[in-house]
Every structure is written in C-alpha cells, then in structure tokens.
Amino acid sequence: MIQRISTDVTIIGGGLVGSSAALAMRQAGLDVVLLDKGFCGAQASGVNYGGVRRQGRPAEQLPLSQRAHGIWPRLKALVGIDGEYVPSGHLKLARTERDFAKLEAYAEMARPYGLDLELVGAEALKTRFPWLSAAGAGASLCPGDGHANPRLVSPAFARAAERAGVKVFEQMPVRDVRATGNGFAVLAGENLEIRSRQLVNSAGAWSDTFAAQFGETVPLKRIYPSMVVTEPLPLRLPVSMGEQGGSFYGRQVARGNYVMGGGRGAALADPDFSRPSVTAASSVMQRAIALFPHLANAQVIRFWSGTEADMPDGNPVIGPSRTTPGLFHAFGFCGAGFQIAPAVGEVLSELVTSGRSTTPIDAFSIGRFAHAAAQTADSL
C-alpha cells in the first residue's frame, strides 16, 4: 500500500546538513520530511575526521563558519549530547619557510572576519609544544577551533529533529523526484510518496544526480579520505593538528585514540563503500611518527574511509536552484563540511521560510558552474 504524505519541505539526505536543516526548519514551525537512503549521518557526516575547524577555510566560507562556531558550544541544548566537542585549538604546521609565509598571509586575510590566529615561530613551537618533533618552520594556532565525534554528532541531529516532530525515514532511497508546478513529488523506498511545497537536496556525494534531474549539471567528484586510528594511549595531544598543504591531520580523542588522516582512499565495487589506500595510510603513519615520536610503539587498530563530494573550486553549493523555484541545494563540502554544516542547516531554514540568508552565501551559487559550462562551450 502506498503511504502518502503531504508536507512543507522534503529533505533528501540525512547527513549533518540535512539533519540540522530539518531541525532548524521544524523549530521555525515547518512540517518536514527527512529521507535517507541508509542511516542518517552514516556517510561522510558520520565517518569524517571530526575537525571543528575554521582555520584554513577560504574567505568566502568564513562568515558561515563563524556562524557555525556559535552553534557548536550549544550542542547539548540543541541535540541533547555534547558530541565530545572540545574547543581544543587547532594547530596548523608549516614545514617550510614558504609554508609559514602562507600561514602569515592567511592570518592577515582572516582577521577582518573575526578569526584571531596566533602565529608561533619555530623556537616558540618547541617550548610550547614539546611533544612535537620535526615541526618545521612554525605554526598557526586557532584557539577556538577544536574537534568532536562525528559518529555521535551527526545522528544526534537527526534524532533531535525526529523528537522535534520531523518525520525521519531511514533506508528510504529516493526513486523519483520531480517538480509538479506548485511543488514537488518524491517517491521513496517501496511505497512512500511525498508531496511538498519545497525541496532540499542535501544528498552529499549523491547530490549531483538529483541536481541533474532539475537540469543543473555540476562538476561533482567523489573523494574518499584515508583515516587511521590507534589503540587508546595516554592523553598527550591537546590540540587538533593540521599541516599547510593538508597532507596530515590528527587529533587525540578523550578515550585516548589518535585519529589521523591524509591522502585518499578508493571506492569499492559498490560505490557507496570505500576503503583507504594502504599507501595513503602508510604515509599518514610515517608522518605521525615523525611528528610524535612518543607514538613509535603504538598500534594501529583500524583504517576507514567514507564518501565525500568534492567541487573544483573547493567551495560547496548552497542556495536556491536556478531552474526550479522551491528547490534548494546544499552539498559539495569538499571534505570540510563537518564544522560548517549546522550553520548551513540554519541558512537553509532561512531560505525556505524567507527566501534569503542572513549570512552571505553568494559565492556558493550553483549558477557559477552553469557560467563555467557556458564559457567552455563558447571557447570551443
């Protein structure tokens, strides 16, 4: 028997973006249906590194990132758990003088956005972070950044949305979606038919298919992080770490495990699943030992990967569709969606209720690719 639901907004994709949007919209008084083809927060939102980081983001993302920065400390009130969020600080290392110059330039650029970065020279680095070796030319510290547990945070947003009255359907892949003239019709799973005035496409690495159904082609590519985790070890690493160039990142969780990543994995035959590459994992492990000699005898207990959406300019797509009124996109976070997602959820709620975002999102318009496609066509 077909189950028919009529609602204000249908959200495709129960990742952190879709789930936080569902929660924000529900709080704004809307009727919301949230659909996930698997489990909410089980893809990129749930298996990423867990960096809650503003430092290093391009200028156009900083207003949104700052907005999200205000949400993270309120997690417990918002979704019922703190998600192991720790504003530990984020330390970004420069291996060379040239890299350090880049960090200096970034700090200068980010200051007007309210991001106060502290530049730490090579000598100061040694005294302040004595457990760190082979650090190189210096570092940039962002004191308010930190980390959290994506396994817990992302599903918690979906559960909180559900408790607030959002209808959440898991293991419910969308089979067909179309505009009806005055809204949208979505067929999901075996027998679910949803009619809604508005539609949000927050399907992560699967978003391009839905965008294409509305005539919007995007150059989305799938990327797969390569993650490594050690056994629990004595607490020693007080900050989340990164490197200019991005080849290594690492943090130590409250339980004691070092969670580290860098490089890329590869998709399996079923493209919904992926594995880290041994080469990438191995170079992460080499770098870890170089940076933290105290890990020399540590054991690695697990590798993992996930499926993320990458865009050619490093920025996500956030905003209204150019072809279809009532449709909004939010995807393509290029491996850096975790921190920013709760703010994207609020922005999506603003878009569906008032049609405009109080935080600038113009740089993320899907139209920028239509433009590029047209230009390419012209030049041919």
Please report, as ranges, the residues that interact with other proteins according to CB under 8 A. 39, 42, 46, 151-152, 155, 159, 230-232, 255, 266, 268-269, 273, 275-279, 282-283, 285-286, 288-289, 295-304
How far apart are CB 304 and other proteins at their closest, in Å? 6
Please say which residue, 39 or 113, places its beta carbon nearer to other proteins.
Answer: 39
Provide the minimum distance between the beta carbon of 130 and other proteins in the complex, in angstroms, as a whole number: 20
CB of 19 to other proteins, least distance (A): 13
Pick between residue 152 and residue 309 the one whose CB is nearest to other proteins: 152
Which of 92/287 has CB closer to other proteins? 287
- Residue 7 CA to residue 99 CA, distance in Å, equals 51
| CB of 145 vs other proteins, minimal distance in Å | 24
C-beta of 273: minimal distance to other proteins in Å?
Answer: 8
Nearer to other proteins, 33 or 327 (CB): 33
* Whole-number Å distance between alpha carbons of 49 and 41: 13
SS3 sequence, 44-72? HHHHCCCEECCCCCCHHHHHHHHHHHHHH
Q: How far apart are CA 67 and CA 172, in angstroms?
A: 31
Smaller CB separation from other proteins, 287 or 329 = 287
Q: Which is nearer to other proteins, 111 or 255 (CB)?
A: 255
283 or 324, CB closer to other proteins?
A: 283
Minimal distance in Å, beta carbon 259 to other proteins?
Answer: 11
Angle separating helix axes 16-27 and 341-354, nearest 10 degrees: 50
DSSP H or E stretch at residue 226: strand 225-230
Q: Give the Cα separation of 179 and 154 in Å (integer).
A: 29
The token pair at 372 is: 């590029």
- Tokens 């959200």 belong to residue: 11
* H or E segment and range at residue 309: strand 308-310
DSSP 94-124: ESSHHHHHHHHHHHHHHGGGT---EEEEHHH
Beta-strand pair 221-223/308-310: antiparallel
Q: Shortest gap between Cβ of 281 and other proteins (angstroms)?
A: 8
